[in-house]
Amino acid sequence: INENDTVATQEIRYGDNDRLGARVAEMTSSDVLVLLSDVDGLYDGDPNRNPAARLIPEVRELTPEIEALAGTSATEFGSGGMITKLMAARICMNAGCATVIASGKRLYPVQAIEDGVDCTWFLPGRTPRQARKQWIAGTLVPRGSVTVDEGAERALRAGSSLLPVGIIEVSGEFQSGDAVTIRNRAGRDLARGLAAHSSDEARRICGRRSEELAALLGYSGRDEFIHRDNLALLDA
């Protein structure tokens, strides 16, 4: 990922390739972001000034002490230096994505990382899937809600997707891709998820089986109203 590879104006510049790459990794639910530099990774001192500086092979939490090791100087290549690499690592760790900082000076650097060359790994405490579900449950603002029957409630708790046949009521106005709250008959919030259909479409297909949807909507779309990958239980 290189911001300089595209035509950019001052208004749309991101600022550095490290965080740009991290945002792409975040949006694509990547497992690993590789940041190549002119150094082997994060050191506990400046290796150019202190020959005794030691490479830190693994970081599981970005504490103020770790951040202080980045200093303020830019590396030989790129605009960000180690500070923006740690910023990128934080973005990825919050998204459940690992980050590795390694030297790009050696031949076949990615293969070298796989072979166990000296580098610094930033390891998240959760997977991209777990991070996505936490984002859905705790960050997004629901635009509406759907009420489901007992069968759908049991299916959701068992890890299934929400099908239109299990929906008995649609509230609010929302578009496809918006967050919605899923409630049971008693009005208890069960889950949140990303709707595959708008509220208008949801009202047309609620209580209907999957084989009926194309005729009701006028096109062949998804069978699920909310796919299980886009759904997070609130009391799990």
Split into its structural domains, the chain has a count of 2
pLDDT, tens digit (0-9, with 9 covering 90-100), for 122-180: 999 988 888 888 889 888 899 999 999 999 999 999 999 999 999 999 999 999 999 99
The CATH number assigned to the domain holding 59 equals 3.40.1160.10
Listed residues 125, 155, 174: the one ending a domain: 125
Same domain, 154 and 174: yes
Per-residue pLDDT band at 110 (split at 50, 70, 90): very high
CA angle 141, 145, 147 (to 5 degrees): 150
Same domain, 207 and 121: no
Per-residue pLDDT band at 108 (split at 50, 70, 90): very high
Q: Is the pLDDT of residue 1 over 90?
A: no
Listed residues 107, 125, 143: the one ending a domain: 125
pLDDT, tens digit (0-9, with 9 covering 90-100), for 175-200: 999 999 999 999 999 999 999 999 99
Same domain, 42 and 155: no
Per-residue pLDDT band at 71 (split at 50, 70, 90): confident
Q: Token pair 């690993």 is at which residue? A: 32
Q: Is the pLDDT of residue 8 over 60?
A: no
Listed residues 94, 125, 156: the one ending a domain: 125
Q: Considering only CA atoms, which of 123, 94, 136, 119 is closest in space to residue 41?
A: 119
pLDDT, tens digit (0-9, with 9 covering 90-100), for 22-31: 999 988 889 9
Long-range Cβ contacts of 204-212 (<8 Å, 24+ apart): 205/164, 205/167, 206/146, 206/164, 206/167, 206/168, 206/169, 206/170, 207/164, 207/165, 207/167, 207/168, 208/164, 208/165, 209/164, 209/165, 210/163, 210/164, 210/165
Same domain, 140 and 54: no
Same domain, 101 and 157: no
Q: Quote the domain boundaries for residue 100.
A: 3-125
DSSP letter at 175 equals -
pLDDT score recorded for residue 76: 46
Same domain, 95 and 183: no
The CATH number assigned to the domain holding 217 equals 2.30.130.10
Same domain, 191 and 226: yes
Same domain, 14 and 99: yes
Q: Considering only CA atoms, which of 192, 202, 191 is closest in space to residue 225?
A: 202
Give the predicted TM-score (pTM) of the model: 0.65
Q: Is the pLDDT of residue 5 over 80?
A: no
Top-confidence residue, 81 or 195: 195
pLDDT score recorded for residue 74: 40
